């Protein structure tokens, strides 16, 4: 997969064979994988691995998939992570219950791997378009996540890899204010220790890069909060 970064998929499935097949196929498609075999582990991994999307089995021991979904959808910091529920039961009533928990999509077992991959991509196209190679636009700036190219007013811009990831993060949600910590998580990764001042340094480089052929600085500093594009 040619994209800005590997999106992380959290696979929650108690059946070892099904879990491994799913992880294997997602990995082959270029996704980074986190695996949980029950609901408790899933809830821990959501915080540790910061997944971009969750494929969640309905029938899990102890904390069910429905309960995991309900909890994640009621938390402000996890609400926007798309959840695709897997279920062995195709009845319409179950489908409705599944959607009432806030699940974003629903797949009945046995499912086709190709179809599931397509659904994962559909969700990511909505929430993390840069990770699936989409073309993003904001005013006169165009970022092509497939070719890793950025243009402003049709002129090609030179950007370092970190500035490219910063810009793609901003362009996925124009106007959203990102704190330095959120940018560190998203651009540098949660496992890596980087000082928040590093963010300021790269924001400075991004601003310079965006204005290399002229034009106004589109990055806004929000005092006490962080940065936003537009």
Give the torsion through C-alpha atoms of 128, 134, 140, 141, to 10 deg: 70
Decide: 134 and 125 in contact? Cβ < 8 Å: yes
Secondary structure class of 25 (helix, strand, coil): helix
Span interacting with Ca ion, options 40-48, 49-57, 105-113, 125-133, rule CB under 5 A:
49-57
Helices 65-74 & 39-49 angle (0-180, nearest 10): 40
CB of 25 or CB of 162, closer to Ca ion: 25
Cα 18 → chain centroid: 23
Residue 14 touching Ca ion (CB under 5 A): yes
Span interacting with Ca ion, options 14-22, 179-187, 197-205, 217-225, rule CB under 5 A:
14-22
Decide: 225 and 182 in contact? Cβ < 8 Å: no
CB of 14 or CB of 185, closer to Ca ion: 14
CB of 57 or CB of 104, closer to Ca ion: 57
Q: How far apart are CA 75 and CA 99, in angstroms?
A: 17
CB of 14 or CB of 200, closer to Ca ion: 14
Span interacting with Ca ion, options 20-28, 50-58, 130-138, 204-212, rule CB under 5 A:
50-58
Residue 67 touching Ca ion (CB under 5 A): no
Counting residues that bind Ca ion (by CB under 5 A) gives 3
Q: How far apart are CA 163 and CA 202, in angstroms?
A: 6
Secondary structure class of 224 (helix, strand, coil): coil
Site string for Ca ion, 154-193 (x = CB under 5 A): ----------------------------------------
Q: How far apart are CA 78 and CA 55, in angstroms?
A: 14
CB of 14 or CB of 105, closer to Ca ion: 14
Residue 57 touching Ca ion (CB under 5 A): yes
Provide the minimum distance between the beta carbon of 97 and Ca ion in the complex, in angstroms, as a whole number: 16
Task: Name the residues that contact Ca ion, by CB under 5 A.
Answer: 14, 57, 59
């Amino acid at each position: 997969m040619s994209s800005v970064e590997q999106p992380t998929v959290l696979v929650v499935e108690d059946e070892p064979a099904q879990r491994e097949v799913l992880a294997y196929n997602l990995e082959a498609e270029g996704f980074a994988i986190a695996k949980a075999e029950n609901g408790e582990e899933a809830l821990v991994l959501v915080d540790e691995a910061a997944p971009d999307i969750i494929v969640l089995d309905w029938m899990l021991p102890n904390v069910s998939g429905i309960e995991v979904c309900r909890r994640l959808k009621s938390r402000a910091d996890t609400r926007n992570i798309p959840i695709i529920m897997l279920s062995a039961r195709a009845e319409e009533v179950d489908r409705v219950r599944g959607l009432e928990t806030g699940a974003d999509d629903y797949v009945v077992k046995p499912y086709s791997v190709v179809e599931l991959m397509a659904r994962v991509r559909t969700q990511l196209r909505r929430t993390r378009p840069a990770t699936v190679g989409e073309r993003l636009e904001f005013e006169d700036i165009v970022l092509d996540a497939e070719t890793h190219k950025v243009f402003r007013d049709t002129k090609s811009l030179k950007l370092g890899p970190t500035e490219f990831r910063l810009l793609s993060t901003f362009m996925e949600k124009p106007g959203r204010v990102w704190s330095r910590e959120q940018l560190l998580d998203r651009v540098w990764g949660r496992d890596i220790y980087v000082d928040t001042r590093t963010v300021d340094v790269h924001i400075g480089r991004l601003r310079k890069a965006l204005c290399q052929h002229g034009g106004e600085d589109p990055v806004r500093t929000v005092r006490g909060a962080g940065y936003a594009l537009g």
